[in-house]
Chain A
């Protein structure tokens, strides 16, 4: 049995953007899929709970989950071309989504669809509504996907690498749009990305994932400018920047462990300079450290800093 996500817990408030950041294989997309109930068999949620507005949703039967999915929780995927139907016009897809979730006539749905396209910044929305996805550019397509996500006025949007396939100038446009929608509509957003820059500029709080667990979670400014977990520290020190003074990039040795061979104890221990005895035995849990929560034995009050032996880490 593989465990791509392990005892991950977080909250998102209305009007807040929570970032899930991590490298490939960290389990960030799996967290998003779990919330919206899109885990493919044989995968399953083996423990824990997911609650939307206080109501538990992870144990709902499929037909009730379906009424939540797309209506109360919407998802934006990385590649807008694969999440749009190439055989239907953008308008047909929007109208279908609107009418599935809201009791409106097709005329009303169309008006609403045009208003949505205008809201996400598509010029000449009244005529563009009858165009097919391939007739839009990459950035415009992602706007269409966002308008689809907004169609039923969801309380939560899960955006999984929404700008990874886009050029920087378009990425800036899409992130500005997501932020504006979140603030104006009070929608909660879970933003999944590997890009620390996007996290810094767009999120209120951030959870750093490593090998399926949260290594560190807290207010974004806190976590990124004064990271506590050795992994977060390493990640920040190895991220090149376009601003500030130039310094040599430090590097974390090795790479993210394979799911089939997650090390015993703290999963980060083979790559951690500071690893000591207990790190190889037991899994650390999240403890409050400087306004964030950190899962690292270095910050455990029960661990005596005197007696810990710094182990020679071999790769």
Chain B
């Protein structure tokens, strides 16, 4: 990372959920409280205008990180710094509001994230009204501009969400996110609900908006091929921990963590006819009772004694400064 302050940084971010049974049940069954560590000491820096992507399988904590970074969920430990300022430490409601305007989110399902009873122009105009950005008379003009920016017609503003296809709805969600002139957008699986031909439309739109408006993205996906297309830097999550962070080309050319390598091998390749991926042992373990030492050790092909015993620290490798949490990684 260069000397300049990143727009967004997460410092030792952690999220722990209490998943205990109700008090009485615990007393009767003599059970202790149970905790689920969804996010474990995660460090992320996102420079302005760049895309940082989080990839991981279900339960890896990628959405939880996204929610904590936009301020929808308070971290159990650690900090989220936006332009150097800790969002959860801001006491003045006014300053909080100003901070919220700069951050937006795009959700996975454009079917659940748009109010079905509102007209599109109302949906897109909502952030403008909520943050009181423009006089009421100018809102409609700005909405028309936003619709045009995401490739929809001005007349579409009069319609309701159900009149649109999935891809068009995601465009509406993007227009809404842009309405408050944000600098940073968290995109949580924005194209997973879309067909490929429509997915590419949305990905290309997001890329061109980033170029035009200088946006910074946190892009969350389980799909490595989409990640590769969108990201500048990539973090690979496994059971709440970042096991590897590297820039895109380094990660794809030289994946260092055994889990990253497994993920890349397991992802189906459109040009590998008749290939059978190397079979990985097992599935993601129960996050409440994580394996000791390195969480990946029961599925790893390289496991040694130290992997079962000690939690691997993050170390830097190569001139590319890839950060990898693996005992056995020796470049």
Residues in chain A within 8 A of chain B (CB atoms): 23-24, 137-140, 167-173, 175-176, 179, 194-198, 200-201, 220-221, 224-225, 234-236, 238-244, 246, 248-253, 255-256
Contact = CB atoms under 8 A, between A and B. Distances in A.
A197 B268 contact: yes
B283 A171 contact: no
Given A242-B264, A251-B197, 18 more contacts: A23-B198, A169-B57, A171-B266, A173-B279, A173-B280, A175-B268, A194-B196, A196-B270, A235-B196, A241-B225, A241-B270, A242-B224, A244-B271, A246-B229, A250-B200, A251-B204, A252-B197, A256-B195
Nearest to A224: B270
A242 B165 CA distance: 28
14 contacts: A23-B195, A23-B198, A167-B58, A169-B283, A172-B265, A172-B268, A195-B268, A201-B277, A235-B197, A236-B270, A240-B203, A241-B269, A243-B272, A255-B197
Nearest to A225: B271
Please provide the 10 A-B residue pairs with the shortest distance between their CB atoms, ordered closest to farther: A197-B268, A23-B195, A238-B200, A240-B225, A172-B277, A167-B57, A249-B200, A172-B266, A252-B197, A251-B200
A216 to B, nearest CB: 15
Contact of B273 (A194, A221, A243): A221
B263 interface: yes
A23 B165 CA distance: 13
Contact of A201 (B264, B268, B283): B268
A248 B200 CA distance: 9
Contact of B196 (A167, A225, A239, A243): A239
Given A139-B283, A241-B225, A197 B270 contact: yes
Contacts of A197: 225, 267-270
B264 to A, nearest CB: 6
A248 B279 contact: no
Contacts of B168: 255
Nearest to A173: B279
B226 interface: yes
Interface in B230-267: 252, 262-267
A265 to B, nearest CB: 20
Nearest to A258: B165
A34 B195 CA distance: 23
Contact of A239 (B225, B276, B284): B225
B271 A241 contact: yes
Contacts of B270: 196-197, 200, 224, 236, 239, 241
Interface of B: 57-58, 165-168, 195-201, 203-204, 222-226, 228-229, 252, 262-280, 283-284
A184 to B, nearest CB: 14
B281 to A, nearest CB: 9
Nearest to B268: A197
Q: Which of A169, A200, A225, A241 has the most CB of B within 10 A?
A: A169
Contacts of A255: 165-168, 195, 197-198
A248 B204 contact: yes
A21 to B, nearest CB: 10
Given A23-B196, A194-B195, A251-B204, A243 B271 contact: yes
A313 B271 CA distance: 31
A30 to B, nearest CB: 16
A169 B272 CA distance: 17
A249 B229 contact: yes
Q: Which of A23, A201, A224 has the most CB of B within 10 A?
A: A201
A123 to B, nearest CB: 9
B207 to A, nearest CB: 9
Contacts of B262: 169
Contacts of B264: 242
Nearest to B58: A167
Contacts of B277: 172, 175-176, 201
Contacts of A243: 269, 271-272
A196 B199 CA distance: 14
A196 B167 CA distance: 19
A168 B283 contact: no
A225 B272 CA distance: 10
A239 to B, nearest CB: 5
Nearest to A121: B279
A176 B279 contact: yes
Contacts of A137: 283
A189 B130 CA distance: 54
A189 to B, nearest CB: 14
Contacts of A179: 276
A138 B226 CA distance: 24
Nearest to B249: A246
A256 B165 CA distance: 9
Nearest to B223: A240
A241 B200 CA distance: 12
A246 B271 contact: no
A145 B200 CA distance: 33
A250 B226 CA distance: 14
A117 to B, nearest CB: 16
Contacts of B199: 238
A200 B269 contact: yes
A225 B274 CA distance: 13
A256 B204 CA distance: 19
Contacts of A200: 268-273, 275
A241 B280 CA distance: 21
Contacts of B269: 197, 200-201, 241-243
